[in-house]
Amino acid sequence: MINKRRLSTFLAFAFGLSWLFALIIFMTGSLAESPELVPNTGITLAVVLLASGYMWGPAAAHLLTRMVTGSGWNNLYLKPYIKKH
């Protein structure tokens, strides 16, 4: 059974974080005019924010959802069970 409160909380955090990073990218010059962090490499602030915000946003939203809803940390399934499989 899907818990609608947890799902809506996760979606709010995931989309909220993504749109927050999109707003920061837009306000710092968008993709084309973003300031270059490392000279002559093409690594701009927008590229770093895209990689950190959009890719790690759902993972951060998952952790935030677990903290807010009190789901606990027991069933994360992050440990590999090599002997079982």
- Percent residues over pLDDT 70 in the chain: 89
Res. 77: pLDDT tops 70 = no
Query: pLDDT at position 9, please?
Result: 93
**Hey, where are the domains in the chain?**
18-61
pLDDT per position as a tens digit, 30-68 = 777 778 888 888 788 888 878 877 888 888 898 899 889
Q: Where are the alpha helices (DSSP H) in 1-85?
A: 4-27, 45-49, 55-69
Non-local (6+) Cβ contacts of 54 within 8 A are 18, 21
